[in-house]
Amino acid sequence: MRNILLLLITLLFSTTIFSQIFEPIKWKSSVKETSENEYTLYFEATLDKGWHIYSQREVETEEIAPTATEFTFYNENKAFELIGKTEEPEGIQKFDKVFEMEIKYFEESVTFSQKIKRLDSALTSIKAEVFFGICDDEKCLAPDTVEFNLSLSGKVLENEESKGNLEFLNSKETKEENYATSSDTNVADNQNGEEKKGLWSTFILAFLSGFAALLTPCVFPMIPMTVSFFTKQSKNRAAGIRNAVLYGIFIIIIYVGLGSIVTAIFGADALNALSTNVWFNLLFFALLIVFGLSFLGAFEIMLPNSWANKVDRQADRGGLLGMFFMALALAIVSFSCTGPIVGTILVEAASKGGIAPIIGMFGFSLAIALPFALFAMFPGWLNSLPKSGGWLNTVKVFLGFLELAFAFKFLSNADLVLQLGLLQREVFLSIWIAIFGTLGLYLLGKIKLPHDAGTGHISVSRLSIALLTMAFTIYLIPGLWGAPLKLISGFPPPQTYSESPRGFGGSGSATESTKELPEGAKYGEHDIITFTDYQLGLDYAKKVNKPVLIDFTGYACVNCRKMEEYVWSEPEVLSVLKNDVVLISLYVDYKKELPESEQYISKTTGKKIKTIGNKWSDFQITRYKANAQPYYVVIDHKESSIAKPIGYTPDKSEYLNWLRGGVKSYQKNNFK
């Protein structure tokens, strides 16, 4: 009895540790009669925390995209008709950088509804099914189908409530003991960490932009004038310092107030959605083009002079109120120089959502305010300030070129969402090469703009910046031939969105492309030789005497793409994938149907295996007791695992060590 008990405990423990079957969604259906012979069918999905399901897709696309939710209503006898389309709530919309498109999904719970009209009075029930995909921040599950049998009489039928094709397993996944998880870090903690990093980057960029604004013709001359006013008009040095500090504080309050207004008008959550909207990206593009041309000297963006005059009169009152209006006067008078920079910061902050506009304005205003307070405390420093001159306009022009370059990022976002192909990678890089190349020539004095002062020579600092700019321009050029350009990763469109994914003339991967491919293989991500048929890949591995890396993946798996783009691209990881293993990628969401003779009923799930994707999903569940993607397994030629399988592993070093461990284990057992 004791031995049996120990055996049961062992089996229970091993199931808990090694089973990776996830069941994060439950479906429930109901029917409501709205009028005679008219009904509304409801399909409610309840999801575990952190998981999401994607919306229906109105227009079919050949592009790789998240698995859309699809409803099918069986109506062979024409006993009813559908009224309109299946409706769904608003959900969450955002631009997905991995799929390069606008996506919509639902969290926690979602209810779909379909109105129908009964045409045959003998009709008592309706059969329907939903096909869907579900993901969290680390993994996706193979697309699933749930069947419903909805009674029009209000009776509960057998399939009124369903959990999907994994109900038979009756197992709950425990996050802390998940064998496939590569890190014990809580997902919420990761999200909070990313959010904090995003806010810090916003603050730092805004702070540096504030210093850049200081060096423009509208602001820089104001520093000695304002500080001299405080030191001469104040009764004593302490009072002068106090007034300068108050002046700086009011500058911060004014700009932070602007950021708060932007956040309040649009809403903290709505800003991110706006930034990924096509029309707002086009608006941002137009604004930055206008800002850039203004900095180049085409025209000046100024607030009405009457505003400055009224504020100046209020500043004469003195006291705290007068100090506030002095700070406001600076903001208005310098708007032609600071306005484009402030606008750019707000646009960039909007892409992060939340309180980013407030943080951005705080960083910008802090950089503006600090010099006034510091120079008031130490007036002797004023003597070390460089004199105003043509170099201030050079700074302004330099910022104008940056505005123009940054503008095309927003145009690129809109083009990616619409998939128009107007601003593919080569075109984008060509525009940037032209912009920065022209900037380099300007800094070298080869090009003159309207407000430039005549000079026979350039300073050493200007020459240094010109050399850096020209070096950056030259760095961009190989990108036209397929170079990854990691220094500006995230700005240009991805390499897959280009006129020639291998670079001009297909020469981006010439070495790999000239190799003869093994039977059944193709060039996958980063030109890795990849098999999509398990047996063919295994046979080839035996032939070349290498271990097999099984990659359970999906076309609609976000984190599978992230692993391929950010981890597999690492040179050391890529070297192992190309030279030391045979990669077999099994797509669990491949919808191509198997020949009828190869279709079967799964002994594990009881489901009919109809597609190639079903086959590989069943293979993963049956052999490895896991159903999430990405999922990586290293096996030998006897099909035995030689390294502990892992899932989503964004840490490049951790993934590389795991991969090398599998290769070493294989070599130890097979090389004499």
Unique residue bearing structure tokens 């229906």: 56
Read off the pTM.
0.47
Q: Across the strands, what pairs with 41?
A: 31, 114
Least-confidence region, from 359-368, 377-386, 431-440, 540-549: 377-386
Q: Give me the phi and psi of 525, to 5 degrees please.
A: -55, 135
Q: Where in the chain is the domain with CATH 2.60.40.1250?
A: 22-177
Q: In 3-state terms, what secondary structure has residue 249?
A: helix
Cα–Cα distance measured from residue 166 to residue 534, given in angstroms and rounded to the nearest whole number: 24
DSSP string, 290-328: HHHHHHHTS------HHHHHHHHHHHTT-HHHHHHHHHH
Cα–Cα distance measured from residue 423 to residue 408, given in angstroms and rounded to the nearest whole number: 9
Unique residue bearing structure tokens 């097999």: 548
pLDDT, tens digit (0-9, with 9 covering 90-100), for 345-401: 766 665 555 677 778 888 888 887 888 777 767 666 666 666 655 667 787 788 788
Structure tokens at 404: 């123009």
pLDDT, tens digit (0-9, with 9 covering 90-100), for 466-509: 999 999 999 999 888 877 787 776 678 766 677 765 555 554 44
Cα–Cα distance measured from residue 624 to residue 608, given in angstroms and rounded to the nearest whole number: 19
Q: Where in the chain is the domain with CATH 3.40.30.10?
A: 517-670
Residue 318 or residue 459, greater confidence: 459
Q: In 3-state terms, what secondary structure has residue 524?
A: coil
Strand duo 80-87 + 109-118: pairing = antiparallel
Output the CA–CA distances (angstroms, integers) from residue 617 to 143, 267, 283, in the order listed.
Answer: 9, 42, 44
Please give the class, per CATH, of domain 22-177: mainly beta
CATH of span 517-670:
3.40.30.10
Write down the pLDDT at residue 188: 41
pLDDT, tens digit (0-9, with 9 covering 90-100), for 33-79: 888 888 999 999 998 888 888 888 755 555 567 888 989 898 888 88
pLDDT at 334 over 60: yes
